[in-house]
Amino acid sequence: MGNDKLPYVLVIIIQAIYAGMFILTKAALDAGLNPFVLLFYRQAIASVVLLPVTAVTNWRTSLKLSYMVLFKIFMLSLIGITVGLNASHIGLKLTSETVGSAAFNAIPVITFFLAFLMRMETLNLRKSHGIAKAAGVVLCLAGVGLIAFYMGPAIPPLNHHKLFHPKSSPSHSEVHSNGTWIKGTFLFLFSNVAWSLWLVTQGVILKDCPSKILLTTIQCVFSTFQSFVVAIAFERDFSKWKMGFDVRLLGVVYCALCNAGISWYLQAWCLQVKGPVFVAMSNPLCIVFTVMSSVLILGVPVSLGSVLGGIMTIAGLYSVLWGKNQESKLFKLSDENSKIQNDEEQVAVSIGESTSSNISLQKL
């Protein structure tokens, strides 16, 4: 396979992995696994896998990190991983994997909005690209609101035999009548804000910790201890921490290895080769894979509101990305014009100096 086609194949694999994460995490939670315990297990496994690799390749860099940098990484892991993923797991338990994958598309838009508030992004409403970015933010928020407040009829699955058989999974109507659907959706929104804040501030911390794998490993270790404290505070019955060879263990191992390991590495490679816009534009594939899996394979009904809200968040995502793309083109064109103008001024100065020298010679 040529290098020009490889990034397109990899982003499809990445989004398929993310869809599997939502599906298996939801199945593990419905099977009785505590959401806080789930996060502790997945971060602990990821730390065990990453620590030996990082110790061999980046042990010299790790010794140079100051206590202040370690404190910043500690707070970064607390916000983005411990708080953000715990909120996401609870939201997933209260709603569905379709809602999770739909809300996933809001992360790039929320990241842009936070970057704008921190003056890392610009928004010129007098230009078409500025209007597109503002409209994208509004569409994204409207999509999340639609998911929260409108479920609509359930789209029946084509497969009526569930692949996973949870012990206690609330039905479509039960979730809606209990009001937990709204709470779960806004927990997803809160999780997205925490994750977006993590993305924005991570770029600043990378200046003090240039090794990406070292930063990832330290965050995994810190979040393991943080999530353990949270898990033991909410679930003190250690008999519920035990897992057999069932969907709970499968969900934990999958999230730790495939999501935190394989997908993050592939994503970093795609970011380096094709840039962040290319990766972000593949996010809508996640909800497509999730809905198809729910309807065709898992035997789980999908609410119409989740699908429509997902479409709105996708529209908001592409609106922001289009605005960013147009803005970058204008900046590039402006830089080229400035360079041409500077070259012309230098040529004019050279001609002026040459003419002045000729006149002086003629006078002599």
Q: E strands, 214-317, where? A: 302-303
Distances from the Cα of 317 to the Cαs of 133, 223, 313, in angstroms? Answer: 9, 29, 6
Distance in angstroms (rounded) separating the CA atoms of residues 231 and 142: 33
What DSSP character marks residue 125?
A: T
Q: What is the pLDDT of residue 168?
A: 45
- Check residue 161 and report its DSSP letter: S
pLDDT digits (tens, 9 = 90+) for 87-104: 999 988 888 888 888 887
CB count within 10 Å of CB 344 equals 10
CA–CA separation, 95 vs 25, rounded Å?
Answer: 12
Q: How many CB atoms lie within 10 A of CB 321?
A: 22
pTM of the model: 0.75
Q: What is the pLDDT of residues 337-364, one digit of tens each?
A: 666 666 555 655 566 555 555 555 455 5
pLDDT digits (tens, 9 = 90+) for 145-161: 888 778 778 777 766 66
Which one-letter amino acid corresponds to residue 61?
T
pLDDT digits (tens, 9 = 90+) for 269-328: 776 677 666 677 777 788 888 888 877 777 777 888 888 888 888 888 888 878 877 887
What is the pLDDT averaged over residues 219-240?
90
Q: Is the pLDDT reported for residue 173 higher than 50?
A: no
C-alpha–C-alpha distance, residues 209 and 227, integer Å: 23
> Quick check: 89 and 24 in contact, CB under 8 A?
no
Do you know the residue count of the chain?
Answer: 364
pLDDT at 165 over 60: no
Instruction: State what percent of residues in the chain have pLDDT above 70.
Output: 79
Q: Are 42 and 260 in contact (CB under 8 A)?
A: yes
pLDDT in tens, 110-157: 777 777 777 777 778 888 888 888 888 888 888 888 887 787 787 777
Whether the predicted pLDDT of 174 surpasses 50? no
Rounded CA-CA distance 316/224 in Å is: 34
Q: Nearest 10 degrees: CA dihedral of 8, 12, 17, 20?
A: 180
What are 47's two structure tokens? 């730390």
Q: Mean pLDDT score of the chain, rounded to an integer?
A: 78
Two tokens, residue 284: 């809508």
**SS3 assignment, position 154:** strand
The DSSP result for 28-70, as a single string, is: HHHTT--HHHHHHHHHHHHHHHHHHHHHHHHHHHHHT--HHHH
Output DSSP code: residue 99: H
Which positions ≥6 away from 23 have C-beta within 8 Å? 97, 290, 293, 294, 298
Q: 30: number of CA atoms within 13 Å, CB side?
A: 24
Q: How far apart are CA 146 and CA 154, in angstroms?
A: 15
In sequence order, what are the residues at sequence separation of 6 or more whose Cβ sits closer than 8 angstroms to the Cβ of residue 291?
Answer: 98, 101, 302, 307, 310
